[in-house]
Amino acid sequence: MVIFRSTENINIKTTDGTLISYSKLKNPSNLFNENIYITSLEDFEDLKRVFANVGKKYKAKTIEESKIRYLSQFPKELGISNLNEFAITQSLDFKYKKFNLLESSNDIQSLYLNEKKTNIDKQIEGILKEEISIVILGNPGLTISEMICASTALRLLYEKLKKRFRSVKIDIYLNASENKYFSRDKAIFSNQSFIHRVTALSINVKKICEYDFFIDVSSVSKRSYYAQLPHIDAWLYKFGMDYKSIPNEKKYNNISLEYYKPKNELKEKFQTLKLKGKLLLFHPFSANISKSIPKEIAASLLKELMVKLPDYTIVSVLKIDTKIDEDRFVDLSMYSNGFLDFAYIISNMSNVLTVNTSTYHIAEAFFIPTIVIFTDSNKKETPHNYDCAKAIYVKDKSKNFSQFIFKNDSLILHKFEGWNRLNSSKIIKLLENF
């Protein structure tokens, strides 16, 4: 966490219209103060840029964390402690770059930031209250995939705490200062029935002291355990839970569409499509180009699947450059305008074929049999926790002809050779064996 004050009064609006107000500190001697603010490390970096863009006199001045953390009213931290994260990372900002230029900053920081295993049972031992409240500071995950996995871990945390306390209220304060996906992130967590409230960082000191506990999830995705463990297990580890003792069948994702209202046109389209037979979602592209099927190969694979899967109508929410004209390929991209739109479309599928994206995490929530295509560089990200997912690995055959550090696609040989070996027959066989 980062604790700070604003040198001037300023308002910031999030993508969903939420207004975050910062007021100049008037009484610096009083630390139990509504004009002293707390945010995550990521959000603080964004906030400094916002302030700088407004004007030179707008600054976020940090306050020593221990002065606030040791207030008698301050809530108790649960899970792995993030104590002094800002001070540690700032002192290393110069040191680690000289220490080893070949190592990433995350690798070096993880050596100094606390990652020691903790036990949440011991942390709540002796608490006599029957009703507790918890505030989560920062984004539990930065991508849709990570947030869905974090939601699963949060549900397991909630269920564990409910066995001990009569009422458990969980509020999440998300990164918001320059988060262009704030509305999406808010929708993902607001969708979970066990989450009481989702709002925007920062939170002031008086407000955080209304809670019994806090969990600081700032920069969790940069920790070494996050790289080594499946995301659900990594979040359970962060929350102080023994992920090994929890059966995989309990680590299911949950997405509710109870209050979602799809467009009538889309509902009617699905009613018509389902009369024709099974539906296969084909999702060949990711925001990460290294995880995406090259466009020409994706178009070719789609044509093969059309021929070899006569019982299926193939659906996509992505623009695929192909000249397929027949009614067994349906482009629904115009209806997929948000997280819940996409989730609804997936929920109507018989099967899903996707590269390594959030698609297969969403499909798992609806028990949709899914084939996930990973490149061998993603082998640490296996779907082994998911009963409804099977993996295909594509070997990266590319060789870099350049002797320089920078990457130049024109100097990479055999770039698509591994993807060319993607076998439609293997995909069909896996579909048949679900």
**Whether pLDDT at 400 is above 90:** no
Q: Is 414 helix (H, G, I), strand (E, B) or coil?
A: coil
**Whether pLDDT at 203 is above 70:** yes
Q: Which residues contact 283 (CB under 8 A, 6 or more apart)?
A: 316, 317, 318, 352, 353, 354, 355, 357, 359
Q: Which candidate, 260, 271, 264, 282, places its Cα nearest to that of 348?
A: 271
Contact 388, 368 (CB under 8 A): yes
**Whether pLDDT at 102 is above 70:** no
**Whether pLDDT at 375 is above 70:** yes
The predicted structure's pLDDT at residue 287: 85
CA–CA separation, 296 and 321 (whole Å): 8
CA–CA separation, 143 and 185 (whole Å): 9
Which amino acid is present at 332? L
pLDDT band at 402 (very low <50, low <70, confident <90, very high): very low
- 104-113, 118-127, 415-424 — which one is most confidently predicted on average? 118-127
pLDDT (mean) for 192-200: 95
DSSP string, 373-389: EEEGGGTTS--TT-TTE
* 3-class SS string, 148-187: HHHHHHHHHHHHHHHCCCCEEEEEEEECCCCCCCHHHHHH
Average pLDDT along the chain = 87
pLDDT band at 296 (very low <50, low <70, confident <90, very high): confident
Q: Which long-range contacts does 258-261 make (Cβ < 8 Å, 24+ apart)?
A: 260/340, 260/343, 260/344
**Which pTM was predicted?**
0.86
The predicted structure's pLDDT at residue 109: 58
Query: In this structure, are strands 2-6 and 37-39 parallel, antiparallel, or unpaired?
Result: antiparallel
The predicted structure's pLDDT at residue 106: 52
The predicted structure's pLDDT at residue 100: 46
Lowest mean pLDDT among 58-62, 146-150, 399-403: 399-403
